[in-house]
Structure 1
Amino acid sequence: MWPPFRSSSDTKLTMFVTDICRSVTLKFHEETHVKGVQAYSYLAEKTMLGNEEDDSSNNCFCLSDATTCLPSGGLNLSSCQFNAPAVVTYPHFLYADPAYAATVTGVKAVPEEHRMFIDIQPEMGIPMNVAARMQINIVFERIEGISFFDNITSRIYFPIFWFSETAQLDESMAKQLHLVTHGLPMYTTIGCVILLVSGVILMTIGFVIFLRHRKNKSNTKAYKQVQS
């Protein structure tokens, strides 16, 4: 959860992901609705997994050698995952340097299907629709003396699998959230208007009664003076 009462000027969401040992940042994209409830949509930035040429803040993920400095769009996980020759990218090498897909067939990146996003209800700070998507790739390189690798002429980033962890409000929760964010404020406003109008009416009635009482009292006093 995030602090409530967000505005569209809150342009970024940042969170730490333990599986890749780094923070990820999602940028405000648009106002949308999830099951009829208002939401702000945040997308993972295209340069989030970029190298220092695309994003200077990522220079700490490159240790200035050939094994850790990757083409833009991939993050070396070796120092995070027990020196495993693994690289994380977006699914189907979305937003990545063409070098990743050049040695692999069958990949086709579709942003709507492979991007990472979070939709947040701004008044409550509650995530309503989430999709965390990443791809795990194993690095293959030519190793002298091992015939199995003889046909490898350049580094290959071979996709092992990609995953999509998603969550969305169900209809029941959406109705409750709609009641809290729209119904209750509307009922509160209507109740305040009714109380205000009722108060004005009661004050008016009380003022009229006061004036009549004062007038009757004045008439009685004048009548007694005439009689005397």
Structure 2
Amino acid sequence: MINGTSGMVFPPFIDESSVLFIFSAELCRSVYLTYEQDVEFLGVPGLRFIVDLDVLEDPTINLANKCFCLSDGTCLKAGVLDVSACLGVPVVMSAPHFYSGSEEYYNTSVIEGMAPDENNHQTFIDIEPLTGIILNAAKKLQVNLNLKPIDNYPSFQNVSQMIFPIFWVNESASLSQELADDLYNKVIMPQRAVAIGSWVAVGVGLFTLLVVGAVALREYRRKGFRPF
């Protein structure tokens, strides 16, 4: 089932409990993002959403991922997705350096240089929650080959079976300072003005009640009455 948008547009009134669905053409499936933390980008406050770990979780742990196992029944570990049936080539997708994936993919003597890091390899979207406008986003994907020995080809008979990384890409986009300032002035400032106005109104109301109470108490005492 296909859920979500292309990831370029989101609904307004997003909060920490929101789940954002995106269809990823590269992964040939829908993925969902969940809240990670509050952020600020160019002075505009926002919410950061990241791809939920369950999306590429080991199928033995997240049973919903069993439908993405290979046609022969083989299931890959956490952090990778076989898209060979979709693309027609033995390609496996993952986060760069197999970030958030099974340790067996990056902690191996066969493949060197793997150093998964959250800051460098995590896909995220920063959103202004009231409008749903994207402040800053980065989609990071790694293309891998699913290597297997092939008996009919001497050059591949002794190849070790592994998920072999080829390259990774970082597609990112963000608001310019001019657009961020415009968003701040038209959305954030009015929100804060309303919030400040509400507190001022409450303060004025309390002050008015105190003044009225003090005047009433003075009148009671002046006329010789006791308030209670």
Q: What interval of TM-score do these two structures reach, taking the shorter chain for normalisation?
A: 0.7 to 0.9
**Residue 15 of structure 2 corresponds to residue 7 of structure 1:** yes
Find the aligned partners of 2:44 and 2:71 in 1 and give their Cα distance: 47
- Quick check: 1:47–1:73 contact (8 Å CA) kept in 2? no
**Residue 135 of structure 2 corresponds to residue 128 of structure 1:** yes
Instruction: Name which of 104, 116, 131 aligns with 1:109.
Output: 116
How many residues were matched structurally?
Answer: 191
Letter in 2 for 1:6: I
Find the aligned partners of 2:15 and 2:44 in 1 and give their Cα distance: 15
**How far 1:132 moved relative to its partner?**
0.5
Aligned pairs for 1:79-158 within 5 A: 79-81=85-87, 83-101=88-106, 102=108, 103-152=110-159, 154-158=160-164
Find the aligned partners of 1:107 and 1:52 in 2 and give their Cα distance: 23
- Counterpart residue number, 1:29: 36
**Residue 86 of structure 2 corresponds to residue 72 of structure 1:** no
Find the aligned partners of 1:190 and 1:71 in 2 and give their Cα distance: 52
Change in 2 beyond 3 A, CA 1:132/1:97: same
The alignment partner of 1:48 has SS state of helix
- Counterpart residue number, 2:182: 176
**How far 1:69 moved relative to its partner?**
1.9
Letter in 2 for 1:69: C
Letter in 2 for 1:61: F
Identity in percent: 34
The alignment partner of 1:148 has SS state of helix
- Quick check: 1:138–1:159 contact (8 Å CA) kept in 2? yes
**Residue 53 of structure 2 corresponds to residue 46 of structure 1:** yes
- Quick check: 1:87–1:137 contact (8 Å CA) kept in 2? yes
Find the aligned partners of 2:51 and 2:196 in 1 and give their Cα distance: 40
**Residue 8 of structure 2 corresponds to residue 18 of structure 1:** no
Letter in 2 for 1:164: N
Find the aligned partners of 1:190 and 1:65 in 2 and give their Cα distance: 62
Find the aligned partners of 1:135 and 1:190 in 2 and give their Cα distance: 47
Letter in 1 for 2:145: I
- Quick check: 1:132–1:165 contact (8 Å CA) kept in 2? yes
- Quick check: 2:95–2:121 contact (8 Å CA) kept in 1? yes
Bigger Cα Rg: 1
> Per-residue displacement from partner, 1:55-97 (whole Å, max 9, x unpaired)?
222111114625x52122111111110x210000110011111
**Residue 172 of structure 2 corresponds to residue 166 of structure 1:** yes
> Per-residue displacement from partner, 1:147-206 (whole Å, max 9, x unpaired)?
322432x3121111101100111100010000011234456789999xxx9xxxxxxxxx
Moved more, 142-151 or 50-59: 142-151
Unmatched 5+ residue regions in structure 1? 198-228
Find the aligned partners of 1:109 and 1:121 in 2 and give their Cα distance: 28
Moved more, 162-171 or 69-78: 69-78
Change in 2 beyond 3 A, CA 1:191/1:43: closer
**How far 1:146 moved relative to its partner?**
2.5
* CA RMSD in angstroms, aligned pairs only: 2.4
Moved more, 176-185 or 88-97: 176-185
The alignment partner of 1:172 has SS state of helix
The alignment partner of 1:142 has SS state of coil
Find the aligned partners of 1:186 and 1:98 in 2 and give their Cα distance: 46
**How far 1:123 moved relative to its partner?**
0.8
Letter in 1 for 2:131: M
Find the aligned partners of 2:195 and 2:150 in 1 and give their Cα distance: 73
